[in-house]
Structure 1
Amino acid sequence: MDLTTAELERYARHLTVPGIGPEGQLRLKRSSVLLVGTGGLGSPAALYLAAAGVGRLGLVDDDVVDRSNLQRQILHGESWVGKPKLSSAAARLREANPHIEVETHSCRLTPDNAGEMVGRYDLVLDGCDNFPTRFLTNDVCFLQKKPCVYGSIFRFEGQVTVFAPHLGGPCFRCMLPTVPPAGAAPSCEEAGVLGVLPGIIGSLQAMEAIKLLLGLGEPPLGKLLCYDALRTSFRTLRLAPDPGCRLCGETPTVRSLHNAETLASASCAVGDDSMPAISVEQLDELLAAGPVPLVDVRRPDEHAVSSIPGSLLIPLQELEKRVAEVPHDGRVYIHCKSGGRSSHAVKLLRELGLDAVNVAGGIDAWLKLRRSPSAAPHP
């Protein structure tokens, strides 16, 4: 496998960089990266890895493009709204660089498929949006001795590091031993994120991935790089391997990908799975039969974009003082975007004596269901 004339022209600015040159470029061509997620972080990372000439990119995602994604997920465009993210991402990356191979995995990373999937790539870039998948990505990379390039974002702040105990650094569990308690860590969809921020953090992830593939410089092992956009500042926190870590410590107890953290609900960090809930399929059946007492606890701007017919908007932060507006004469169903905020609302309302039930998956799951060809029209 050599570089073609077209590739030599394409990567001309790489070929003169000390430490890369033709040999390094050929090494990139022979390398592979698995990107878990093609959203805010995966978009810039994938584009730069493709442009750099990483020969094989694997993409894991089972979501569709939503218009609210376009503010930050630069792989996707308006014409792809409602279509699979993988289709959008693959088309964009192949246009960016026709010399690379793009492999798509239209699924979620699970304890059952992670081992085989990760085993086919040199390293993993973590661009996921929930704690169970982060734990799973970390665990499978540890067991297979593959570097995991980690990134996270929140409003105006981001973090980057490389978890690779086999290279002398800590793992994700050394930093976060267990899934945070309910409500401790709101998602980007709930807390918001400045659109440019994932571009910065995702690009840093791509940089660290390329350094690892080329063997250049020093990866941030044991260093958590923290970026504050409002203060235009970077700082580095030390992350030491934890001797008591249940995965990579001296007496490990996590020996399988099937464990409490990887099998937790993806909404557990922002909701409470102990609350009574119905599925969106069940809600859809109720709505097909007639009006349903339904309260939407999202923000007004979210409600304006999309709403379930007949729902009453009471933002979560206003719920306690507006509880008199919630129907009291029977069961009431509560929804938000994905099920996190609504589970908190259900807990509050049930403590006040109301028969409140959460809609699992929120309007995201309901809209996805309604878009399916088998969905029956409502009267």
Structure 2
Amino acid sequence: MTDDQLLRYSRHILLDEVGIEGQERVLAAHALIIGAGGLGSPAALYLASAGVGRITLVDDDVVDLTNLQRQIAHTTARVGTPKVQSAAQAMADINPEVQVTALQARVDAAALDSLVRDATVVLDCSDNYATRQAVNAACVRHHKPLVAGAVIQFDGQITVVDPRDAQSPCYACIFPPDAEFEEVRCSTMGVFAPLVGVVGAMQAAEALKLIAGVGQSLEGRLLMLDGRAMEWNTMRVQRHADCPVCVAR
């Protein structure tokens, strides 16, 4: 680690649980972030500021004026710019040492296989149910830890899936892929802006804990935030023996 790195990351290095060894694991890690919107913005900025060595950011959308109420990686000047390019610029402004790969694409199963295989940790910051299920399935196949978050209106949720643990429930254990599900989006239902910051920052925190080997992750727990009352509820979840995604892992 260089002198500049020791200074830049000193506040993490001062933590007994992290230290130089933990920060070196962060510097060597590769985070895959699916989605560069409300959740992906704070997650990407915090991972870049913490020094995650490589970050791959995937999103097929462009910055729109309606995004700026909550998607803090973007600016008015970058309206019309691909979100991944806009976010990559914001990340470089914070930490030019981080290697950012910006992919303007909507991922399918084949693309996810390649992307997930090369990642240390995956953050699902997407905004639709089908993508969440596809990301989960790819993480299960390749035994990669996944931090999944979601926010709509005044409600947020976050959990960790860790297929390296044979007893860890996957996302499909909690939300079955074949369940009848009414898709809801911020564009039609609205979203309270600070909540995506709260959940996105928590996704970054869980990812850094997994990378550095610090503390206890949210594996086996689904945290749900009621933003109106600002109350958290925890649901303990278990692996389903008949889960169509992780039963054969």
What TM-score does the superposition give when structure 2 sets the normalisation length? 0.96
Equivalents in 2 of 1:185, 1:108: separation in Å? 18
The answer on whether the counterparts of 1:90 and 1:102 sit within 8 Å (CA) in structure 2 is: yes
Tell me the residue number matched to 1:86. 84
Tell me the residue number matched to 1:310. none
Listed one character per residue, the Cα deviations across residues 276-328 of structure 1 (whole Å, up to 9, x for unaligned) are xxxxxxxxxxxxxxxxxxxxxxxxxxxxxxxxxxxxxxxxxxxxxxxxxxxxx
Report the alpha carbon displacement of residue 141 of structure 1 after superposing the two structures with TM: 0.2
Specify every segment of 5 or more residues in structure 2 that has no aligned partner in the other structure, as ranges.
Answer: none
State the AA in 1 paired with 2:234.
T
Equivalents in 1 of 2:118, 2:183: separation in Å? 32
RMSD of aligned alpha carbons: 1.3
The answer on whether the counterparts of 2:22 and 2:213 sit within 8 Å (CA) in structure 1 is: no
The 3-state SS of whatever aligns with 2:74 is coil
Report the alpha carbon displacement of residue 248 of structure 1 after superposing the two structures with TM: 1.3
Report the alpha carbon displacement of residue 22 of structure 1 after superposing the two structures with TM: 1.4
Q: How many pairs does the alignment contain?
A: 248
Tell me the residue number matched to 1:106. 104
% identical aligned pairs: 42
Task: Tell me whether 163-172 or 232-241 shows the greater mean CA deviation.
Answer: 163-172
Equivalents in 2 of 1:143, 1:50: separation in Å? 27
Tell me the residue number matched to 2:119. 121
The answer on whether the counterparts of 2:128 and 2:183 sit within 8 Å (CA) in structure 1 is: no
Tell me the residue number matched to 2:174. 175
Report the alpha carbon displacement of residue 181 of structure 1 after superposing the two structures with TM: 3.4
Tell me the residue number matched to 1:40. 38
Equivalents in 2 of 1:9, 1:132: separation in Å? 42
Tell me the residue number matched to 2:215. 217
Report the alpha carbon displacement of residue 187 of structure 1 after superposing the two structures with TM: 1.5
| Greater Rg over alpha carbons, structure | 1
Equivalents in 2 of 1:70, 1:179: separation in Å? 34
Higher relative contact order (CA 8 A, sep 6+): 2
Tell me the residue number matched to 1:22. 20
Report the alpha carbon displacement of residue 179 of structure 1 after superposing the two structures with TM: 4.7
The answer on whether the counterparts of 1:7 and 1:99 sit within 8 Å (CA) in structure 2 is: no
The answer on whether the counterparts of 1:35 and 1:57 sit within 8 Å (CA) in structure 2 is: yes
What TM-score does the superposition give when structure 1 sets the normalisation length? 0.64
Structure 1 stretches of 4+ moved >2 Å: 178-182
Report the alpha carbon displacement of residue 87 of structure 1 after superposing the two structures with TM: 1.2
The answer on whether the counterparts of 1:63 and 1:84 sit within 8 Å (CA) in structure 2 is: yes
State the AA in 2 paired with 1:129.
D
Listed one character per residue, the Cα deviations across residues 239-293 of structure 1 (whole Å, up to 9, x for unaligned) are 11001111112xx5xx9xxxxxxxxxxxxxxxxxxxxxxxxxxxxxxxxxxxxxx
The 3-state SS of whatever aligns with 1:68 is helix
Aligned positions of 1:333-348 closer than 5 A: none
Report the alpha carbon displacement of residue 165 of structure 1 after superposing the two structures with TM: 3.2
The answer on whether the counterparts of 1:138 and 1:172 sit within 8 Å (CA) in structure 2 is: yes
Report the alpha carbon displacement of residue 180 of structure 1 after superposing the two structures with TM: 4.6
Match status 1:61 vs 2:66: no
Equivalents in 2 of 1:83, 1:165: separation in Å? 36
